Amino acid sequence: MSRHFSMLRDFQLADWFTLGNAFCGTGAIFAAMRFLQEGGVRDLMIGMALIPLAFIFDALDGRVARWRNQSSVLGRELDSLADVISFGVAPAALAYACGMQGGWDWLVLSYFVACGVSRLARYNVTAESLSGDGDKVKYFEGTPIPTSLVLVIVLAIAVNGGHIGAGLWLGAVKIGPWLLHPLVLMFAVSGTLMVSKTLRVPKP
């Protein structure tokens, strides 16, 4: 007989670290929304601070799983879903809150998230073949999605210096009917590197 919350009882210790990752990413998104509602820069900085915390949870869940020898397909799927939130949607939401709100910005940020989703989906279906004879994947095809932490650090530096909204670094240009903030192109580069087939990054 199934018990209430039986799925949660089946979670391993590493899975709770993964959920901590997702919790931080969700909090960052809400912080970006709160900043857009109330204009408090403190909210924006809190949201950005949650991304490094999500990165720590993301690093620990794999270590805990190996320590306890409890890796599972469920854990891998949870990890990918959490990463989409914390290192895909959340950085894009924070960038939007910082002022990248032009039509071209929307497209670039959406492209970035789509690349992150594609990158994680590809990893999930190729993990077994990439691991060879062992249990551990030896390298990443394309940059891992948590590298978007670098983008958030750049945004945090900009916010700390007051370079948000109309004061965003590199300004804005109008291309056709829409605005483009050139700074958003770092998200385009990051997304493109994530879906690269030829770039191989050794996995620690």
Residue 152 is assigned to a structural domain of this protein: yes
The model's pTM: 0.86
Q: Tens digits of per-residue pLDDT, 156-177?
A: 999 999 999 999 999 999 999 9
Any idea what the CATH number is for the domain that residue 170 is in? 1.20.120.1760
Query: What is the domain extent for residue 112?
Result: 6-202
Q: What 3-state class would DSSP assign to 5?
A: coil
Number of domains, the chain: 1
What does the pLDDT average to over 66-85?
73
Residue 1 lies in a domain: no
1: pLDDT strictly greater than 50 = no
Please give the average per-residue pLDDT across 120-137, as a whole number. 66
Confirm whether 168 is domain-assigned. yes
Query: Tokens representing 160?
Result: 């700390």
| Residue at 85 is within a domain | yes
Q: Please check whether residue 148 lies inside any domain of the structure.
A: yes
The answer as to whether 64 is a domain residue is yes
